[in-house]
Structure 1
Amino acid sequence: MHFNLADLFEAVADKVPEREALVCGDSRSTFSELDRGANRMAHYLRSRGVAAGDHVGLYMYNCNEYLEAMLACFKIRAVPINVNYRYVNDELLYIFDNADMVACIHHREFVPHIARVRDGAEKLRLFVAVDDNSGEDLAAIGAVDYAEAAAGQSDARDFGERADDDYFVLYTGGTTGMPKGVMWPHKNVFFAAMGGGGHFSPLGPCTTPEDIRERVGEHPLVGIALAPLMHGASWWYACIQLLAGNKLVLNHNRSFDGEQVWQIVADEKVNAVQIVGDAMAIPLLDALDANPDRWDLSAVFNVGSGGAIFSDAKQDAFKRHFPNVFITNAFGSSEGGQMGMDNGSRKNTTGLGNVSRTDYMDVIIDEPDQPRRHAKPGETGIFARSGYIPLGYYNDPEKTAKTFVEVDGKTWLLTGDAATLEEDNSITVFGRGSNCINSGGEKIFPEEVEDALKAHEGVFDALVVGVPDERWGSRVSAVIQARAGVQLDLASVQEHCRKHIAGYKVPREIHLIEVVPRAPSGKPDYKTAKAFALAGDGRVV
């Protein structure tokens, strides 16, 4: 047995085979059923020539088949690749080709999208379609129905030995350019992003693979992952739940609706709600405000966020609805895994959160024409991680060299998030340094200003960007989605912000937009927001 995600899952499935593992809409699976289904798909893929190291695309909405197919890949040492279901021609072809996919498991409705670009992906030869009642013609790409492919296949575990360093590739959109494929060895992602199996156990992280059996609790918790599984934070949370022997609930709806989510939470008696920042927090809170006492949510004791900003205002709002709820706000990235967790007690009120400095977590100073070095107390640099980190970016040695660097003989991952090493040897995280606004020599982090804006009762959502300024170089510009029926003006927004942040950080202009641009995962689309501001669209005084 190895620190391989297939090995670990099989050990858990053997310990609690009849325990419910996965719920998505009308589909429900016990651990045993999920394991046997993955075995059947693994046998099918292997029968069609998919071998160890081959890349298999997962091009689906949330569904049980997504995780079943992921496990099937792991079982035969193939490499699953997440595909963003919002991609269109150029983006879709890029990921098919850049990832060297040989197979793609997809929802049936995506057949036309695949048909338009498949000829440009030379290695892609096998298509397996999960039925969704769309009625798309499978013959258009020579696809086979998922259920038919699995039918008649063996559900035995007659697979070869696996390894700690079997890997999968997580494609991350980023803020510029095409997606980057982060190559994660199983052991590394298990410890970096999944707590080494110790999230729910007083025994702490595993020291041997066999320890995973002892980390399975007697009383399983029920957790819901609200982001699409194609998003790293949701995929990791799903694995954390399954490897703890807990029940994982997925949001099966194709759009995010607060009322629908709370109905699922009530029906499944969910204990932990996992969101991706304010983009999900806002509609959830609005649904609670509009429907007092509609649902029995007494089972909820944790609201956790990861992957995007979770503002103080929204955390406080959840506490008003759930007085005894435990709030968690995780810091991390597709490349860094989970790098720390803030439970609301910040040591520095100007940052997004505060985490501990360790031998494997630090601030690196990366200045032009200077050797990279560790920060000294009081210095601001780049949030960095060592130890359990990815191998690099797939098919991209240039970006790998810029992100995975050597400092004092050890390889460090530069996350891109700006951070300060405090005098008490802790680290304050500010946000993505590439989006930092330099106004008259003062550094302003957009996330901090966004946090202040979203504490305004008339602001539904907001992104902050820097636009050119003749005097100051850049000035702070806010792109705001106002709440229905609310009229916002610059002076009142500025007055509100001055109660929360220093004057030089206050937006100098605001632009009202119908919907703040975000990715399906909830991550901000700063590029589109900046273009909106530069064009002068929606500007109010």
Structure 2
Amino acid sequence: MHNIYNQGLDKVAANSQPLTPINFLNRTADVYPDKVAIIHGDQQFTYREYRQNVRRLASALIQRGVKTGDTVSIIAANIPAFLDAHYGVPLTGAVLNSINIRLDAQAIAFILDHSECDVLLTDTAFAPTVKKALALCTRAPLVIDIDDDIECEDAERIGELEYQDLLTEGDENFQGNLIHDEWQALALNYTSGTTGNPKGVVYSHRGAYLNAVGNNMIWPLASDSVYLWTLPMFHCNGWCFPWTVVAMAGTHVCLRQVEVNAIVTSLIEHNVSHFCGAPIVLNMILNADSELLDRIPRGINIMTAGAPPPATVIKGMEAHGFDITQGYGLTEVYGPCVVSEWKSQWDELTDDERAALKARQGVRYPTQEEVDVLDPQTMLPVAADAETVGEIMFRGNTTMKGYLKNDTATVEAFKHGWFHSGDLAVKHPDGFIEIRDRSKDIIISGGENISSVEVEGVLYQHPAVMEAAVVARKDEKWGESPCAFVTLKADKDASEREIIEFCREHMANFKAPKTIVFSELPKTSTGKVQKFILREKVKQLSEV
């Protein structure tokens, strides 16, 4: 059919460029070249210097053979080199794979192999674990040490060269940009699954661009904003905030250790206006020494996500002058893309009423097309009655490309045209969603995902354990912690402490159970463990 709007109105370079968040740095460095972009201890980098380092990194990696579609992995604390990598790596057309610093050597080795890692940037603080991982994996990537001046002066170097030496190989005037398609892969993040090995979630340039913009639409920053890195950058690329902060010409304040004294000192010294973190970070601050709390300036903006925050924590933080916004999301949707958006008519409510409203997960970002609570059987929306439970599902441009080299999992996750989160929730009459439970057996501890199947696998390795099942238990500090129900062999004996220590020796410490309950496991007629019964028992334990 004839359509006048299809005549001579094609996409050309002048009117169509790939959306990518890495272009934010060029704009900000052009407009604010002398503004402080990054603070790290006594170090400061202006936006001019930040861009120069990014260009050096990109050109040096290209000279070292990195090309479009390669994987550049990084395992590091929240330091300037990590911020460099969020721009320098994708500038080459390669994919940035940020690795959780809390993982054990076996898990890191799996990621290096599965991602087909070509280059590994590694903070020397994690050298012992990374060295073991490299020995376990089949890949032989180029290893670059990041010898951070803060707390890592005497750390072992395991790489071919140091990060600053790599930068000297690069060209600060490098003008290349190997982003030809906004659907190109930008980042790879691994998330725990219920079957043990993590799944590789692939982000596009388009999705990261949109979620970075969405962050600022619902939680505004400006050129005078100062953002403190309490949230790990390895979490969904820091929920896309390495790009959001730069887009708005804000200042990044790096923080190696998420420790209450370091947080409070940074809040005061740098006049911090914004920071993100899991509820455990809020609870850590809330339970700090009163003298520390009294020193914190009022009016600091916090976005919390990673686990549903207790209303009491929100209430307590706001009583100390913090402005709390709750976000919700998953690695598969670029971090938070749902927000407990505040309405002015709620300002006059009581503190308890306000906290209860803020504890709801909320409504979708403007940049995520659809989020709803659906009946997974009928795929119809549940009643907005705050009682009917369904599954949270997503559909839109800030949903992942899919799982790397896992077509079966990708098809399953996207069946019926929606991304299935596995999180069970209700929908309130005003459309706000609120999580009720998790259909996946994932335990979220301090914002970290723990696979119950992985923990069970370690428990079964103990010579005295006959059967084991792991579920989440509420934890005042971590939000949730693993609770293991264990049946011992008839001729064996073991204490709670012994089994916990065994787990700590065979996996990352944060994944080890904090509670062991010795009992028979309830099962169906087919032998399947009835975890819903165990969850009820855990609730009784928490009430004692």
Q: TM-score, normalising length from structure 2?
A: 0.72
Q: For structure 1, list consecutive stretches of 5 or more residues without a partner in the other structure.
A: 202-215, 438-445, 469-512
What RMSD, in angstroms, separates the aligned Cα atoms of the two structures? 3.6
Q: Is the 8 A contact 2:211 2:240 kept in 1?
A: no
Could you report, residue by residue, the CA deviation over 1:4-26 in whole angstroms, capped at 9, with x for unpaired residues? 12222222222212111112223
Instruction: Provide the identity percentage.
Output: 19
Query: Please, which of 418, 425, 436 is the counterpart of residue 412 of structure 1?
Result: 418
Instruction: Please tell me whether residue 331 in structure 1 is matched to residue 328 in structure 2.
Output: yes
- Supply the distance in 2 between the matched residues of 1:199 and 1:462 (Cα, whole angstroms): 25
Query: Please, which of 48, 53, 70 is the counterpart of residue 86 of structure 2?
Result: 70
**Corresponding residue of 1:221:** 225
- Which stretch shifts more, 427-436 or 263-272? 427-436
Per-residue deviation, 1:349? 5.8
1:177–1:144 Cα change, 3 Å: same
1:75–1:412 Cα change, 3 Å: same
1:354–1:87 Cα change, 3 Å: closer
Instruction: Please tell me whether residue 307 in structure 1 is matched to residue 306 in structure 2.
Output: yes
Q: Is the 8 A contact 1:97 1:121 kept in 2?
A: yes
Q: Is the 8 A contact 2:341 2:362 kept in 1?
A: no
Q: Is the 8 A contact 2:373 2:392 kept in 1?
A: yes
Per-residue deviation, 1:355? 2.5
**Corresponding residue of 2:275:** 273
Q: Is the 8 A contact 1:109 1:134 kept in 2?
A: no
Q: Is the 8 A contact 1:97 1:120 kept in 2?
A: no
- Supply the distance in 1 between the matched residues of 2:421 and 2:441 (Cα, whole angstroms): 13
Query: Please, which of 177, 190, 193 is the counterpart of residue 209 of structure 2?
Result: 190
Q: Is the 8 A contact 1:38 1:72 kept in 2?
A: yes
1:15–1:143 Cα change, 3 Å: same
Secondary structure of 1:171's match? strand
Instruction: Give matches, 1:360-509, under 5 Å.
Output: 360-367=370-377, 372-378=379-385, 379-388=388-397, 389-406=399-416, 411-435=417-441, 450=474, 463=480
Residue identity in the other structure for 2:311: D
Q: Is the 8 A contact 2:20 2:208 kept in 1?
A: no
- Supply the distance in 1 between the matched residues of 2:484 and 2:66 (Cα, whole angstroms): 49
Residue identity in the other structure for 2:203: W
Residue identity in the other structure for 2:281: M
- Supply the distance in 1 between the matched residues of 2:252 and 2:318 (Cα, whole angstroms): 24
- Supply the distance in 2 between the matched residues of 1:377 and 1:136 (Cα, whole angstroms): 55
Instruction: Give matches, 1:94-133, under 5 Å.
Output: 94-118=110-134, 121-132=137-148, 133=152
**Corresponding residue of 1:480:** none
Instruction: Please tell me whether residue 5 in structure 1 is matched to residue 15 in structure 2.
Output: no
Query: Please, which of 31, 35, 42 is the counterpart of residue 26 of structure 1?
Result: 42
Per-residue deviation, 1:103? 0.7
**Corresponding residue of 2:264:** 262
Q: TM-score, normalising length from structure 1?
A: 0.72
1:65–1:292 Cα change, 3 Å: closer
1:258–1:4 Cα change, 3 Å: same
Residue identity in the other structure for 2:26: E
Q: For structure 2, list consecutive stretches of 5 or more residues without a partner in the other structure.
A: 1-16, 347-352, 444-470, 486-499, 520-536
Q: Is the 8 A contact 1:25 1:252 kept in 2?
A: no
Per-residue deviation, 1:129? 0.6
Could you report, residue by residue, the CA deviation over 1:126-163 in whole angstroms, capped at 9, with x for unpaired residues? 1111114454554xx55211111111421113214523
Query: Please, which of 158, 180, 184 is the counterpart of residue 199 of structure 2?
Result: 180
**Corresponding residue of 2:173:** 156
Could you report, residue by residue, the CA deviation over 1:434-476 in whole angstroms, capped at 9, with x for unpaired residues? 3599xxxxxxxx99x95xxx8xxxx5566378988xxxxxxxx
**Corresponding residue of 2:446:** none
Q: Is the 8 A contact 1:354 1:426 kept in 2?
A: yes
- Supply the distance in 1 between the matched residues of 2:293 and 2:126 (Cα, whole angstroms): 39
Per-residue deviation, 1:351? 10
- Which stretch shifts more, 85-94 or 265-274? 85-94
Q: Is the 8 A contact 2:278 2:304 kept in 1?
A: yes
Secondary structure of 2:18's match? coil
Instruction: Give matches, 1:222-241, under 5 Å.
Output: 222-232=226-236, 234-241=238-245
Could you report, residue by residue, the CA deviation over 1:146-190 in whole angstroms, capped at 9, with x for unpaired residues? 111111421113214523122211222356512221111121122
Q: Is the 8 A contact 1:225 1:238 kept in 2?
A: no
- Supply the distance in 2 between the matched residues of 1:95 and 1:160 (Cα, whole angstroms): 27
